[in-house]
Structures are given as C-alpha cells and as structure tokens.
Amino acid sequence: MKTHHQHPASLENQLRSAILAGDANLSQAILIEYVEALRASWESLSERERSSSPIPRQARELLTWARELTLVRRALTSEQLARVERAIRYHPGSAAPASAIEYRG
C-alpha cells in the first residue's frame, strides 16, 4: 500500500478501519505511515504553530483508542479460547460444540 504524502487524518481513518477489522498487519503498516506523516506535519510547523497545534492531542486520542480496543479484543479472544478449551476438556474426543465458539467482530 503506497500512502506516501498522505495527510495524517486520512491515515487516521485508514488505521481506525484496519483496527476495527482486526487486521494487525495492515494496522501496523498504516501506523508506521501515520507516525511518519505526523512527523512531517509537525516538522513543517513553526514554533508558534506547534504551541497551538492539535497534532499531539489527536495522536494521543487515536493511540489511546487503538490501545483500548486492542486490549478489549485480546480479552474477548482469551475468553473465547478458554471457552473452547473447557468444552474440549469436558467433551474429549469430540469437536467443540458450536455454541462454544463465537465470533464477535
């Protein structure tokens, strides 16, 4: 994916979409580009512009949201794995019942 010279806001939307889709590899790639775009935007600002720039706040909000969503997804995945392991333990030799495996996107 070539996103050179994209505005950080465009990359922010792409990053949110990739995270919501659960695509870790795409999220990582977009995050790298997002950080580069933020750096370029920040470096293009004068000292005076930096003092009132929304860039730090926006980046912090996005990264906090991404971290929290990732933690929630991990907890749900861990809970689902534990459910499958319990089902297998109590029903050895058979596949886990369909009710033990749920996908929550």
pLDDT in tens, 85-101: 888 888 766 555 555 55
pLDDT surpasses 70 at 48: yes
Percentage above 90 pLDDT, the chain? 58
Cα–Cα distance for residue pair 90/105, rounded to 1 Å: 27
What residue has token string 């922010």? 12
Percentage above 70 pLDDT, the chain? 82
Cα–Cα distance for residue pair 50/104, rounded to 1 Å: 41
pLDDT in tens, 27-40: 999 999 999 999 99
Q: What is the pLDDT of residue 26?
A: 96
Q: Would you tell me how many other CB atoms lie within 10 Å of the CB of residue 81?
A: 11
Q: What is the pLDDT of residue 2?
A: 47
Q: What number is the average pLDDT over the span 66-83?
A: 90
pLDDT surpasses 70 at 46: yes
Reading the block at residue 66, the tokens are 């991404």
